[in-house]
Chain A
């Protein structure tokens, strides 16, 4: 039994798959992703829109899933960190994070990866400047790394993706 309002059934597109999910309409996208869809890769550090740990992509745009009601995601494409890789192959930004040591405790990492992936995928092979990278990640907090290796990793992924797009 619960004090929550009765559940609604919603059709969603999550990480490229159609899913149906029943949840209380007062739940945030963060809660539904973690608790009802079992995608615990998305983290929370405040649930008030302050830290960026809960960043997911909705139609390719980074959003703070703790501030978004899940019902608003109906019919839209939601991507979480679990959906970044293409099959067994990691997204270049994931590989770069591992290589550069950009994840220490790794708790902020999914949020950073989503912000960075949106930036990189939108760059279309263009080389990004350091201020552009920093600006795009300014809403994500990390207490471990000092951000240095995170910027390095995003720049590395950007370089590799640019190279790929040139063929």
Chain B
């Protein structure tokens, strides 16, 4: 190994760093602002972190070797199918499976009464059973499960189950759910309507805030529901053994929560259940809670003593849903003449679908992060989630913050326009400051929001393009923030949010065990990189064992963008404990003080005299000889004191927040209303990029998903049924719809993040939708107040702006052109 390499890593690894520690450059990479390369406690500098290398699990992915849940095949395995409701809302009078059981090849069936335990991902809304037993609440609600020798037989058996329904009126809109004269989807004696959750919060002096304002702006917006549509259809294999132990392989982002709820529903000790999360073929929040097919497969495996596989069809994936809530929003903001916000009142109405899911949290999230982006000294939030007879809504990438972010960023553009302030400049003026506390008690630490806005605006020549005012061409900006992990677990407990074990074997190989679920976000590589960096070995020297409740310490799951921050910190602590054992022994061997021991490039060396070195293998063996088996454990829990002190303060706090700014450039065809996005530029404050390629990948994926939500994706219903439960009619962007994306990485080196890292999985999606909407408004001189921004809505907006004379033959509506909003 070359001495030169050692010296390179023993000083700053990043040539772009100037004397001040920061520099803006970037011909070479997407990192526009780089954090210092020699972090505290790491005198040898970085040798792994900050380098784009192929992900450790990329090789299995490109050879077809990765085993997803539906690829698991076991001897004597049965295949299961779910019978689903064909009625949006009905009482179940009778479910008769006798004819199905007579079909040759059918082995067992289950109905609601067999597994009656009520559960819910949030302990506050346990409103689901595995299979409906008295009421069905949406078309697609599971009623019965059949297992047979093969899938075809199971499917045939579904036709032989006789269901008698007594139809009830179906409630398909927010307005209908607020009415007092319709049946309740879930019986609730404390209410007369179908409201699931109401939240009312107020911070600061609202009266004084609005009284102080020079201008008050009020807007109404609607965000249409949409769904994750991961490419992998959900799948589960459950195997109950002769030892009375149950193993479940499931495409889940949250193996720990499936473990807990399977124990609860099957009334089995959790110690007898093992949940394994194989690689997940895309989640985006859609696989973060236990599903009927998973629990039914587990039950039927216990009942038959044979392994059971259930894989959903694409149509069933649309029914399983738990996706983006449709949300109506009303915002009222008071501002000074210079744009300073004096008070803000946000009201949201969420269409929750048939069950609670994460909906209580979603309701809070529609209000919780408003104050983390811009300074709002007085803030009032009223949220209301209702039940409707549609597939349940839940968390989708951006969980509950995406909808109000769309509304607020459009609203800000309107304010900036009215005050004659440039929209980018305006956002910088009111941006939150690093190391500050919001009016609702949220702690902000590192914050690169202004840097993101500057970078995105500079790179696109935003100011000049915004000034051109050429009909049909538009440019728009929006900014956002996101959590780096929810500050509280979803069920109350005082244990860590994430744990890791790092073990070194005699061959110098290192394994990290952590309960994370890899769903494409790069968690395996992140864990390997953090351990490799700490121990100074190559990332490919680290094997990752993840998502297995028998083998790995708990990680709460791949949601709320928590994995890098929380599992990364746990892995870093575990690896640091191993490092310190090896450093003690190596220091004696090298004849130096322990604080001079550095680890890099598979060597353990004197940082002041790098040629005084032993290799990692030798150091590990000497350590095992002296201290015994080498392993370290680590755990992470968020620090105390990051939340306010009020009911509902549990949603919103996070150990850190990421920041993003997006500039969209669009071309609008004024004849057809078609929007073509020509370019998206997105700057993201990720804290530190552990693998810059992976960060770019998350930005590009977020841009893609935001583009789909902005222009085409919508989960819509007709006569009680999902209108388009297939991938042809549910439009998602194809490769031909994708504009060029420029990713700009901003590093703010978060003091508590692992090596300074924050998150990139969700944050970059949020500003994309309003940036596109703002660009369209710039292009046509009128605004579309709802998503998706379809050609039809663009033409309507143009028509309304022209007073109805421009386009539509029929007279345009005289009053407000906007969607009606619930009371």
Chain A residues with a Cβ under 8 A of chain B: 1-4, 24, 26, 34, 38-48, 50-51, 53, 80-82, 84-85, 90, 94-95, 97-101, 103-110, 113, 134-135, 137-138, 140-151
Contacts and interface: CB of A to CB of B under 8 A. Distances in A.
23 contacts: A1-B153, A3-B104, A4-B150, A4-B153, A26-B152, A40-B70, A40-B71, A41-B64, A43-B231, A43-B281, A45-B231, A48-B727, A50-B728, A51-B314, A53-B231, A94-B62, A101-B52, A105-B230, A105-B282, A135-B736, A137-B735, A143-B229, A148-B700
A58 to B, nearest CB: 17
A145 B701 contact: yes
A87 to B, nearest CB: 12
Interface in B226-284: 228-233, 279-284
A72 B148 CA distance: 28
A104 B152 contact: no
Nearest to B708: A143
B62 A106 contact: yes
B490 to A, nearest CB: 24
A105 B314 contact: no
A45 B233 contact: yes
A144 B520 contact: yes
Given A105-B280, A149-B697, A138 B736 contact: yes
Contact of A103 (B58, B150, B152, B738): B58
Given A80-B64, A105-B232, 5 more contacts: A3-B156, A41-B64, A97-B58, A101-B693, A101-B696
B669 interface: no
Contacts of B65: 41
A86 B280 CA distance: 28
Contacts of A45: 231-233, 314, 727
B736 A38 contact: no
Contacts of B183: none
B741 A82 contact: no
A24 to B, nearest CB: 8
A4 B62 contact: no
Contacts, number: 191
Contact of A107 (B232, B734, B735): B232
Interface of B is mostly: loop
Interface in B691-721: 693-694, 696-697, 700-705
Nearest to B286: A143
B735 A150 contact: yes
A48 B233 CA distance: 13
B68 interface: yes
Closest 4 CB pairs of A and B: A41-B64, A105-B520, A107-B281, A106-B61
Interface in B59-93: 59-68, 70-71, 73
A40 B232 contact: no
Contacts of B703: 146
B54 A1 contact: no
Contacts of B63: 41, 81-82, 84-85, 90, 94
A34 B63 CA distance: 15
A29 to B, nearest CB: 16
A5 to B, nearest CB: 10
B62 A109 contact: yes
B732 interface: yes
Nearest to B706: A146
Contacts of A137: 735
B701 A104 contact: yes
B735 A151 contact: yes
Contacts of B156: 3
